[in-house]
Structure 1
């Protein structure tokens, strides 16, 4: 049985705690549920031209189509020769060899080198058969033999293998190049191009439908009106989704009307791979997303239709900010509902949305990258739940990482979001942490 289905079955059997007594689960458990469901919903793969696949994730294992290098290759401009023919050579008593050939990059010598001969070679050229070393040009001098035949004076003894990249030094035919889920970077372009992969099998960019809920929201370009605010979360989520390899689809703002929101989510579920909402997940009278999720939770019969097409994964997480963060299957698509407060929305994306998107693209380790750091200043406020504090990284004189908690880091504040490059993880408790104490940090993508 798939892990995602097991997750949903265990949630159904646990039952509900009602509207105001939502059961908070730990962050790690919430992440496990989201990733398990997302990993079962891999997006389709497609062939992408090599020059256009940067930032995509590989959908198939790729291997070397030949040995590399495919021939013994000169590492510099000089002379290919047999090392034994230069034994004892020195500046005052150089070895004299007849020049039998000249080989440019892309060419092959007409014949194998015979004893007592050398071949002029260029960087990257194929070393002639019979040669086992290349002497750099600076250690030689041009000469001629009786009768005018070209020769070379070699002023230093060569060692077998010197300045020669042997065939198959980097890769053998069939050697693995990259595994499914690998994030394709510029270096992969060179690697895959070398082995003839003009088109690369990559996962399609997941389509992310993004909604902001709340009748108080206005378009970004609109002048402010009394009691209203602009929708700033949608653009932030879109940028973060694109940063995660996805294709964001801004679906606009939704009013505090349950029927309208449900219909918009149904439309999104028809063509989006993932649905993200911001706002409406608390317990207020107008928190429509919470109402919709509660309907999923309290209708277990609905879970049994179409192989768990709709099911609540969780509706509260033991974390600050963003404890109302919720997740569900909605008509077969993963729905992640983040807090409307900008700071909590930002944290919720890093903890849950980005891992889900990476899992849908075959990434084997989709959870955030973590490290440890010393706090540069105290975080004394206690909390019954673990806290994720926006912080700036620096390096101490001893080489250790320091995390400096930023000002204006309340859930509703956004001033510190742009300056944060990590989230300091403050354990639950009554006292927080003092400056100089070590703590875990979550590294944010740059």
Structure 2
């Protein structure tokens, strides 16, 4: 196919990053749900609220190895005037006490065991002395203990019916422990979005192919696949597309029908062979934006076709990476019920000068670190969108405002935490 010279690719209206994100987020729709076993739920997001089926703990629980006593029985206890109590029972974890405690008795108890009736405190083992007399066991207490000390009352953590996990919560180790504690072995989670990924450009080689002059291996597809998987999606990798707009339209349309949305990388600028610009000129979908006031990745483009997103990201690895974090990850998170879908922001002190001046906000791949109690950040390599080595060392994007004469070390800057640090 001969290169198409479409005038619309030169008439682009730039939108701010926040406006582009708003246009996307307001169109995100929740995905379908499915039921999975708890052991298979790691990294998934809940499709419904979860409430406590019982109090936690559902019995009065000892917080120490020691003796269950009535606190008032220890009143006045001191090294000079110790209190003596008879030990009437040994209570291991998992057993139910058989005897109640009164003002003259105590029960040996283990951490996590059920506190017997009559007892309202547990005194630490180290604060007692044990002795035998007339075939019976006694303890000597030389310090007063307060009522409620070392005893977890019923429902102190959670009460019956209380909301314990919200819809959209991500299942990690702590969430799994909580669900298991309430006997929840199966749960409803959002399905993982299926995302078709295409790289475009006749210069691309398969990763197993030997290098050729003027050609490069297709690395962006695999970077995007890992980012999609990290955000909870299922990447569907497709063969790269040469500079042929008609072929690209056929393949992308077929992928749209078989997936939840499509990401392309490359061919989105204003060059003669930038085929994604031609597709957005010719298709029957809705254009959301085709230029963003940012560097790198200003030609980043997004549209909707039959309620499915099509993202056209830059072919430069750095710009592709930034475009995913700012615009694609929010969609994946939103489809899986996450409440806050834009990457979290923070502030840090710039650890080194940044002298580039630009008309747009610049999103620099950065690494954060702590020095003398302050959070600092510095770029991970040369700020060029074509470079990929700096991606692997980044944990944030440093936001450099437009204009001025650069940003100096020690200045406070905004940073965007990368999604995998969620």
Structure 2 unaligned blocks of 5 or more: 1-5
CA displacement at 1:231 relative to structure 2? 0.4
Matched, 1:33 2:33: no
Distance 2:138 2:356 in 1: 82
Distance 1:261 1:29 in 2: 28
Partner of 2:38: 50
CA displacement at 1:45 relative to structure 2? 1.4
SS at the partner of 1:354?
A: helix
Distance 2:212 2:272 in 1: 23
Residues 37-69 of structure 1, C-alpha deviations (whole Å, 9 max, x = no match): 12x2x1211222212212111111111111111
Equivalenced residue count is 415
Change (3 A) 1:138 1:374: closer
Question: Could you state the TM-score of these two structures normalised by the residue count of structure 1?
Answer: 0.89
Change (3 A) 1:416 1:144: closer
Q: How does 1:364-375 map to 2 (within 5 A)?
A: 364-375=339-350
Matched, 1:202 2:189: yes
The answer to which of 197-206 and 369-378 deviates more is 369-378
The one of 356, 363, 377 aligned to 1:381: 356
Distance 1:438 1:85 in 2: 60
SS at the partner of 2:297?
A: coil
> Residue 381 of structure 1 contacts residue 430 of structure 1 at CA under 8 Å; is this kept in 2?
no
Matched, 1:249 2:236: yes
CA displacement at 1:407 relative to structure 2? 3.2
Give every structure 1 segment of 4 or more consecutive aligned residues whose post-TM-superposition deviation is greater than 4 Å.
Answer: none
Distance 2:260 2:368 in 1: 34
Distance 1:252 1:373 in 2: 41
Matched, 1:178 2:168: no
Partner of 1:280: 267
Q: CA RMSD in A?
A: 1.8
Distance 2:370 2:129 in 1: 52
Q: How does 1:229-308 map to 2 (within 5 A)?
A: 229-296=216-283, 302=284
Matched, 1:333 2:308: yes
> Residue 408 of structure 1 contacts residue 415 of structure 1 at CA under 8 Å; is this kept in 2?
no
Matched, 1:114 2:66: no
> Residue 322 of structure 1 contacts residue 345 of structure 1 at CA under 8 Å; is this kept in 2?
yes
CA displacement at 1:79 relative to structure 2? 1.2
SS at the partner of 2:280?
A: helix
Partner of 1:299: none
SS at the partner of 2:27?
A: helix
Distance 2:7 2:17 in 1: 19
CA displacement at 1:255 relative to structure 2? 1.7
Distance 1:294 1:362 in 2: 32
Distance 2:8 2:190 in 1: 40
CA displacement at 1:200 relative to structure 2? 2.1
The one of 53, 57, 60 aligned to 1:69: 57
Matched, 1:88 2:76: yes
Q: How does 1:126-145 map to 2 (within 5 A)?
A: 126-145=114-133
Residues 87-134 of structure 1, C-alpha deviations (whole Å, 9 max, x = no match): 122234322222222221111112432331111111111101111011
> Residue 69 of structure 2 contacts residue 102 of structure 2 at CA under 8 Å; is this kept in 1?
no
Question: Could you state the TM-score of these two structures normalised by the residue count of structure 2?
Answer: 0.94
Partner of 2:383: 409
